[in-house]
């Protein structure tokens, strides 16, 4: 069975992470990179396998070691993406597109197509990647980065901070409502969209700098170049989505989608809202996972149950107090 995820770091103080043991190396043919600037960077510096194919344990270790992401949050993020986008039999996931390196796929309707997969964790209104409707949901997009620059200039004196995060998120949502006929922002993507807005402030600022203001060259280093800045120290002390309330309070967004083309946004009452983590967990397991794996047997069923157990344990560790659900029996 897949091994359990690691616990928190023994020492979560700030330290040099762009060190001699983890040099940046350019991509080789076939290496995978995808929509997440943090995982891309960790792979390019060897905190993750440089080919971009990794196990859940490797990803939890890498986001803790390289960025100081809090343990229970890291575990939830990793298992919720792995259960949809990873291969439960080989225990491997691509941080980008589907890859033969994750091994033979389980039977359809399972997809196992890597983190580029639309509408699980990846979804609309990304800061530096286009909506999937426009064709490429994972490559760095300069036009969108320039929006981040513009909002940082307007509301952050040329730096990206929580105030900028809130204004930019509102803009990105309105922009997708107005231009993407297939725009949707519901659970589970809803949760990652709002958390990712504050991640650059929480994790991309050097640990010795307590200003809460992210320099835009540093932002570009992560978002586009997949590189730690020279001499980069990780943040001091593990943290998750602190600051997100600044964004949610400002946006007052209710999950929903464009029902009939652009500018036809309606609220989706079946989606978990941001204050309903257990509805998110239950619907994810009984809805999405069950639809991808309707009747697993043997090793596949065992692996799914083990990963579902790790997902549930992450909700317990986060203090959410959800009731465990068992789509494949106990």
Q: Which two tokens stand for residue 306?
A: 């083990």
Location of structure tokens 């995982």? 39
Name the residue whose CB lies closest to Mg ion. Answer: 126
Instruction: Report if residue 2 touches ligand HEM, rule: CB under 6 A.
Output: no
Of 18, 44, 47, which Cα lies nearest the Cα of 31? 44
Which of Mg ion, ligand HEM, none does 52 bind, CB closer than 5 to 8 A by kind?
none
Instruction: Report if residue 200 touches ligand HEM, rule: CB under 6 A.
Output: yes
Instruction: Report if residue 162 touches ligand HEM, rule: CB under 6 A.
Output: no
Instruction: Report if residue 198 touches ligand HEM, rule: CB under 6 A.
Output: no
Give whichever of 91 and 137 is closer to Mg ion, judged by the CB atom: 137
- CA atoms of 180 and 147, how far apart (whole Å): 17
Beta-strand pair 184-185/256-258: antiparallel
Which of Mg ion, ligand HEM, none does 127 bind, CB closer than 5 to 8 A by kind?
ligand HEM
Residue in 192, 221, 241, 258 binding ligand HEM, rule: CB under 6 A? 192
Which of ligand HEM, Mg ion, none does 128 bind, CB closer than 5 to 8 A by kind?
ligand HEM
Q: Which two tokens stand for residue 166?
A: 């809130």
**Please, what is the minimum distance in Å from the beta carbon of residue 132 to Mg ion?**
7
- CA atoms of 73 and 318, how far apart (whole Å): 7
Burial of 135 (0-12, 13-18, 19+ CB in 10 A): exposed
Instruction: Report if residue 88 touches ligand HEM, rule: CB under 6 A.
Output: no
**Please, what is the minimum distance in Å from the beta carbon of residue 290 to ligand HEM?**
21
Q: Residue 215: beta bridge partners?
A: 159
- CA atoms of 68 and 62, how far apart (whole Å): 9
**Please, what is the minimum distance in Å from the beta carbon of residue 67 to Mg ion?**
19
Answer whether the bond into residue 224 is a cis peptide, omega within 30°: no
Which of Mg ion, ligand HEM, none does 296 bind, CB closer than 5 to 8 A by kind?
none
Location of structure tokens 């079946």? 270
Q: Which two tokens stand for residue 153?
A: 């200039």
Local structure of 268: helix, strand or coil? coil
Angstrom CA distances, 87 to 102, 111, 136, 289, stand at 6, 9, 23, 13
Give whichever of 39 and 247 is closer to ligand HEM, judged by the CB atom: 39
The DSSP secondary-structure symbol of 38 reads: H
Instruction: Report if residue 186 touches ligand HEM, rule: CB under 6 A.
Output: no
Residue in 44, 58, 81, 94 binding ligand HEM, rule: CB under 6 A? 81
Give whichever of 77 and 272 is closer to ligand HEM, judged by the CB atom: 77
- Contact string (CB under 6 A) for ligand HEM, positions 37-76, x = contact: xxx-------------------x---x---x-x----x--
**Please, what is the minimum distance in Å from the beta carbon of residue 272 to Mg ion?**
19
Q: How many helices (H) and strands (E) does the chain have?
A: 11, 7
Instruction: Report if residue 256 touches ligand HEM, rule: CB under 6 A.
Output: no
Instruction: Report if residue 128 touches ligand HEM, rule: CB under 6 A.
Output: yes
Contact 32, 206 (CB under 8 A): no
Give the footprint of ligand HEM on this chain (CB under 6 A): 35-39, 59, 63, 67, 69, 74, 77-78, 81, 115, 121-123, 126-129, 192, 196, 199-200, 203
């Amino acid at each position: 069975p897949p091994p359990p995820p690691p616990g928190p770091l023994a020492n979560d103080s700030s330290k040099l992470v762009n060190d001699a043991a983890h040099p940046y190396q350019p991509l080789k043919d076939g290496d995978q990179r995808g929509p997440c600037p943090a995982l891309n960077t960790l792979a390019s510096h060897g905190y993750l396998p440089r080919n971009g194919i990794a196990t859940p344990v490797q990803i939890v270790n890498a986001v803790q070691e390289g960025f100081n992401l809090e343990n229970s949050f890291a575990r939830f993020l990793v298992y919720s993406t792995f259960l949809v986008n990873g291969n439960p039999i080989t225990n491997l996931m691509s941080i980008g597109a589907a890859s033969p390196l994750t091994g033979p796929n389980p039977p359809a309707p399972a997809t196992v197509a890597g983190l580029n997969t639309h509408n699980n964790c990846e979804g609309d209104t990304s800061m530096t990647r286009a909506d999937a409707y426009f064709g490429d949901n994972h490559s760095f997009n300069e036009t969108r980065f320039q929006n981040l620059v513009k909002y940082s200039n307007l509301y952050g004196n040329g730096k990206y901070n929580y105030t900028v995060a809130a204004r930019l998120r509102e803009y990105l949502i309105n922009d997708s409502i107005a231009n993407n006929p297939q725009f949707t922002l519901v659970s589970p993507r809803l949760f990652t969209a709002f958390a990712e807005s504050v991640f650059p402030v929480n994790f991309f600022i050097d640990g010795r700098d307590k200003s809460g203001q992210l320099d835009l060259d540093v932002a570009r280093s992560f978002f586009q170049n997949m590189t730690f800045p020279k001499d980069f120290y990780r943040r001091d002390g593990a943290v998750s989505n602190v600051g997100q309330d600044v964004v949610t309070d400002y946006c007052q967004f209710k999950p929903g989608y464009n029902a009939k083309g652009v500018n036809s946004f309606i609220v989706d009452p079946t989606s978990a809202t941001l204050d309903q983590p257990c509805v998110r967990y239950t619907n994810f397991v009984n809805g999405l996972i069950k639809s991808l794996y309707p009747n697993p047997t043997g090793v596949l069923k065992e692996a799914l149950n083990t990963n579902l157990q790790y997902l549930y344990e992450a909700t317990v560790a986060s203090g959410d107090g959800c009731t465990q659900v068992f789509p494949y029996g106990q």
